[in-house]
Chain A
Amino acid sequence: MTDPAINAPSGATSAGAASPAAPVAEAPVQARATPRNQWWDVWDQFRTHRGALLGLACFLLIVVMVVLGPLLWRLDATFIDIRAKNTRHIVACFGLDWGAIISCFLNPAEAEGLKVSWAHPLGTDQLGRDILARMISGGQVSLAVGMTAMALALIVGTGIGVLAGYFKRLDGLLMRFTDLFLALPLLPLLLVIIMLFRDPLRAAFGPAEGIFILIVFVIGITSWMQTARIVRGDVLALKEREFVLAARSIGTPSRRMVTRHILPNVMSPIMVSATLGIANAIITESALSFLGLGFPSDFPTWGRLLFDGTDYLQQYPERVVWPGVFISLAVLSVNYIGDGLRDALDPRIRGR
């Protein structure tokens, strides 16, 4: 909060809350020099939420790592180097005697009773595929699934929410439809759908693309309901406002009413559900992969790597820990971003 333009009204509101001296609060607001985009206010509020800022940094770091990773780490995720199979990750050096740790890090090839190598810092799997490369390409798939499924859920949810809120005739029908979806047991249904439609889609679009389309579609189509409900509620409230009446009185057609006046004003709940949607989609995708009904093993995702790792839990716990840590970190940071956004977009809290 370095900007005086922001500090002034915030000081005023706190003064107003302490004593009902309202006239004092008017003056500094007029002193505001240039009008500011409201998103700067949102950003200023967002910055004060330490967890959210940290979450944003962490999430961006993960995204950058996953996107730029293949440029820096050139090993192929599917390249099989059978001689290097079952290499431990480099952190395993800490398991050695005190004296041996440093030499293990400097010259891992000569470490006693431990197969570690800087060529594979996170180790390799039972076929000798490099786990770091698999983590990078798995992250690409996991994040891509998360974002695409979130986008799909948002489009469906916002569409249904706006239609139900704006057009009274559709409201009852669409909301019963939403209720019906909320009453479906989602995880069992997801499993059933994937089991049933996996093979035809893989045959139609190719092994990786088919399952990607299926999983994105299935996650998107089962997670739009909360967004639809929230958006509908907001649209219903917006419809009673004067500016909507004014816009209607000059003859704005419904289509432009929705795109120009309604949608921009429901952006904040949509953004919050977007962040929560990413988290939800990442978790669901990994859960499906973990249950063995997600991506096949040669197209790794974080969930799939975790699932593959559980078979070697006793000897190589790191194969479970690394993907798990990254799933949790991604979800945790996205959830913190969502928390911060919710606070920042709430006009009752902003400027306090």
Chain B
Amino acid sequence: MLNFTIRRLLLSVPVLVIISFVIFMLLELAPGDPMANVPLTVPPEVKEKMREALGLGEPWHIRFVKWLIQFFVVEPQVLFDHVFGTGFAEDKLRVISWQTRSPVMDIVVQRIPQTLWVVGMSYVIGVLIALPIGVISAYKQYSIFDQIGTFVSMIGFSVPTFFSGVLLIVIFSVNLGWFPSIYDTTHKVNDWSSFVFQMKQMIMPVSVLALYNAAQISRFMRASMLDNLNQDYVRTARAKGMTEKVVVLVHVLRNSMIPVVTVIALGVPQVFGGAIITEQVFKVNGLGQLLITAIQANDLPMVQTLTFIFAVLIVVFNLVADVLYGVLDPRIRYD
């Protein structure tokens, strides 16, 4: 198992390098000039100097290697310095955003809490809702609960978040006026009333994403439970005289959780991607909104770094899912 993990870890390094290369070349090949917004009165030689100041003067392979070094060497050093107060990264060039002229990672670090609060919370809630629904609707297949559960999950799965979010805003902000339609990220929680306000502004984005995630996971949970409920070992457990509760919640549930856990792990990076839309709907200034504004402002280092961070998340959680599968299911040990 350890061997497998190490092998996969080593294998993910070239994958990440290829992905970063793909992203880099995509941005490189694209027509579009970061100097396009500079006024025409600026003489060409000054423009050329401005390009060089942005690091655009050199050929692409040198810039690619430089970006790799900045991302994989300098940024971890900065993090290390920040944690331990050392000085490894002093006067080394970091990845600089063209929009704000500040290091990209600093902005990313500022934005992560908002995304994690809203998106992470909604994923956790979605999973917590989905698991019991999946278990019950599989155990009572074709009952009314199952019918309603599958219908609701089908709706949650089909209605795009940009519509369900807007619909919630129409109902609860415009018509009823219960919740604010815009997420205020400057809000600080320091007493009960501000906590209530924080809850109020989180309810809508969290429930939109939670519904979407719960819909997908409950479908998996139901299918997985149904696969297991007809197995021979369930009959054996019942024949041994175990109570129904033990059979379902211990024997069947534990075995059905194996594929579901990996699906949950695989879903985490997708949540960050899907959050782009929800953050746009509720004006949460998290990572997704950062990406959109960077795209609109042609801020290539920011776009590149953010896209690459999403790619890292996907690769890491794929690895986590594979390892979890091996840990949870002794029949699969990869060796």
Give A residues with C-beta under 8 Å from B: 51, 179-180, 182-189, 191-193, 195-197, 199-200, 279, 283, 286-287, 290-293, 303, 306, 310, 313-314, 317, 320-321, 324, 327-328, 331-332, 335-336, 339
**B186 on interface, CB distance cutoff 8 Å:** no
Chain B residue nearest to A310 in the complex (CB): B166
Q: What residues of chain B lie closer than 8 Å to A188, measured between beta carbons?
A: 273, 276, 291, 303, 306-307, 310
The answer, yes or no, to whether B203 is at the interface (CB within 8 Å) is: no
> In the bound complex, do residue B27 and residue A192 qualify as a contact, i.e. CB atoms below 8 Å apart?
yes
Could you list 30 examples of A-B contacts with CB < 8 Å?
A51-B151, A180-B18, A180-B19, A183-B318, A184-B314, A185-B269, A188-B273, A188-B307, A189-B307, A191-B291, A199-B31, A200-B31, A279-B158, A287-B277, A290-B277, A292-B296, A314-B174, A317-B170, A320-B170, A321-B167, A321-B170, A324-B167, A327-B160, A327-B163, A328-B160, A331-B158, A331-B159, A332-B158, A332-B159, A335-B157
| CB closest chain-B residue, reference A194 | B295
**Contact among A179, A189, A320, A327 for B23, CB-based, below 8 A:** A189
Distance from A225 Cβ to chain B, minimum over Cβ atoms (Å): 12
Q: Does B22 contact A (CB under 8 A)?
A: yes
**B154 lies within 8 A of A193 (CB):** no
Which of chain A's residues has its CB closest to B15's CB?
Answer: A183
Interface residues on B, range: 35 or more
Asked if B113 is at the interface (CB within 8 A of a chain A CB), the reply is: no
Contact residues in B for A184 (Cβ distance below 8 Å):
19, 22, 311, 314
Known: A188-B303, A290-B162, A328-B158. 15 other contacts (CB 8 A): A180-B18, A182-B318, A183-B15, A184-B314, A187-B273, A188-B273, A188-B291, A189-B307, A191-B276, A192-B23, A287-B160, A291-B280, A320-B163, A324-B166, A328-B155
In the bound complex, CA of A179 to CA of B12 (Å): 11
Residues of chain B within 8 A of A317, CB atoms compared: 170, 174
> What chain B residues lie within 8 Å of A313 (beta carbons)?
166, 169-170, 174
Residue of B nearest to A320 (CB): B166
Q: Is B315 on the interface with A (CB-CB < 8 A)?
A: yes
Q: A189-B23, A313-B170 are in contact. Are A291 and B158 (CB under 8 A)?
A: no
What is the CB-to-nearest-CB distance from A41 to chain B, in angstroms, rounded to a whole number?
Answer: 23
Is B274's beta carbon under 8 Å from chain A?
A: yes
Interface of B is mostly: helix
Q: Does B65 contact A (CB under 8 A)?
A: no
Contact A187/B276 with A290-B162, A317-B170 known, Cβ cut-off 8 Å: yes
Residue numbers in A under 8 Å from B174 (CB-CB): 313-314, 317
Top-10 shortest CB links A-B: A196-B30, A185-B310, A324-B163, A332-B158, A331-B158, A328-B159, A317-B170, A187-B273, A188-B307, A290-B162
**Contacts A183-B318, A189-B26 known; A306 to B162 CB distance under 8 Å?**
yes
Question: How long is the Cα–Cα vector from A303 to B151 in the complex, in angstroms?
Answer: 24
Give chain A residues whose Cβ lies under 8 Å from the Cβ of B18: 180
* Interchain CA distance A51-B146 in the complex, whole Å: 14
B127 to chain A, nearest CB (A): 21
CA distance A187 to B161 in the complex (A): 14
Binary CB contact string for chain B from 293 to 323 against chain A (1 if under 8 A, 0 otherwise): 0011010000100110011011100100000
Contact in complex: A291, B154 (CB < 8 Å)? no
B199 at the A/B interface (Cβ < 8 Å)? no
B292 within 8 A of A: yes
Nearest A residue to B318 by beta-carbon distance? A183
Most buried by A among B19, B160, B318: B160
Chain A residue contacts of B313, Cβ below 8 A: 185
Instruction: Tell me the chain B residues, 138-167 only, with Cβ under 8 Å from chain A.
Output: 151, 154-155, 157-160, 162-163, 166-167
Q: Is the CB of A196 within 8 A of B32?
A: yes
A287 to B165, alpha carbons, bound, how many Å? 13
Q: Which residues of B contact A192 (CB under 8 A)?
A: 23, 26-27, 295, 303, 307
Distance in angstroms between the alpha carbons of A335 and B292 in the assembled complex: 29
Cβ contacts under 8 Å, A199 to chain B: 31-32
User: How far is A66 from B298 in the complex, measured between Cα atoms in Å?
Assistant: 37
